[in-house]
Amino acid sequence: MPGWAVFVAGLALPLMFWVCRWQGWPFWYCGLVLLPLAWPRRVGGGFSIAAALPRAARWLPGALAAAIGVAALVFRNGVPLQYYPVLVSLFFLGIFAGSLLQEQSIVERLARRLDPGLPESGVLYTRRVTQAWCVFFVFNTAMTLLCIKAGEEVWALYSGFVAYVLMGLMFAGEFLIRRRVMRRIRDEAKPAFQETPHV
């Protein structure tokens, strides 16, 4: 399940909820959106979220997403679809948290694509960023579950708008902080200029 497909499906479902309300269609029709995610895809040579999964488990997120879609269609009920954003948050939480148990965190792997010689201070920073994303995904999972209990409209508003605004703010804030931190790290890594003594 490619990262862009996860993102698009997660954004599409809450938006399609409002389309269904506008057209008078039952929301469970949107289970069709999740079915293609079960189609197996090769992971390319570049870095991707799917590549961070064990090879034997790369089919699992797509299969679970499709199962949610099938449940909605079979039972003619839109409630299972509301749990898809929860699945997505837990999926990313598992990837980010699992990478903290490995030699390199997922953010460090991304950073090394731009800076292969990442110093130790940069490695520590990327681990903190990975931990911050874990906290975000825990928060997002909890908020989505609360919104499911609050009603379909609240769920659609949070899952289709608020959650993506928060994610965008997280990306933008981390990007601005990273520029400052990496600039400081590069400055610290530069050898101090020593004036050649006169004979």
Location of structure tokens 């954003």: 85
pLDDT in tens, 90-123: 988 998 999 999 888 988 888 888 778 878 888 8
- How far, in Å, CA of 110 to CA of 114, rounded? 7
Percent of the chain past pLDDT 70, that is, above it, reads 80
More confidently predicted of 136 and 181: 136
More confident residue, 183 or 22: 22
The answer to whether the beta carbons of residues 32 and 38 sit under 8 Å apart is: no
* Mean pLDDT, residues 13-19: 89
Site of tokens 């530069």: 190
- Using alpha carbons only, how large is the chain's radius of gyration in Å? 21
pLDDT attached to residue 199: 43
Question: Which whole number is the average pLDDT over 111-136?
Answer: 88
Burial call 135-174: b when 16+ CB within 10 Å, e when fewer: ebbeebbebbbebbeeebeebbbbbbeebeeeeeebeeeb
- Average pLDDT across the chain, whole number: 83
| pLDDT above 60 (res 181) | yes
Q: What average pLDDT does range 31-44 have in this prediction? A: 74
pLDDT at 194 exceeding the cut of 60:
no
Q: Is 100 helix (H, G, I), strand (E, B) or coil?
A: coil
pLDDT at 5: 66
Tell me the average pLDDT across 127-147: 96
For the stretch 51-101, pLDDT in tens is 556 665 667 778 888 999 999 999 999 999 999 999 989 988 998 999 999
Taking 80 as the threshold, does the pLDDT of residue 27 lie above it?
Answer: yes
pLDDT (0 to 100) of residue 113? 80
Q: Which of helix, strand or coil describes residue 118? A: coil
Answer whether residue 3 shows pLDDT above 50.
yes
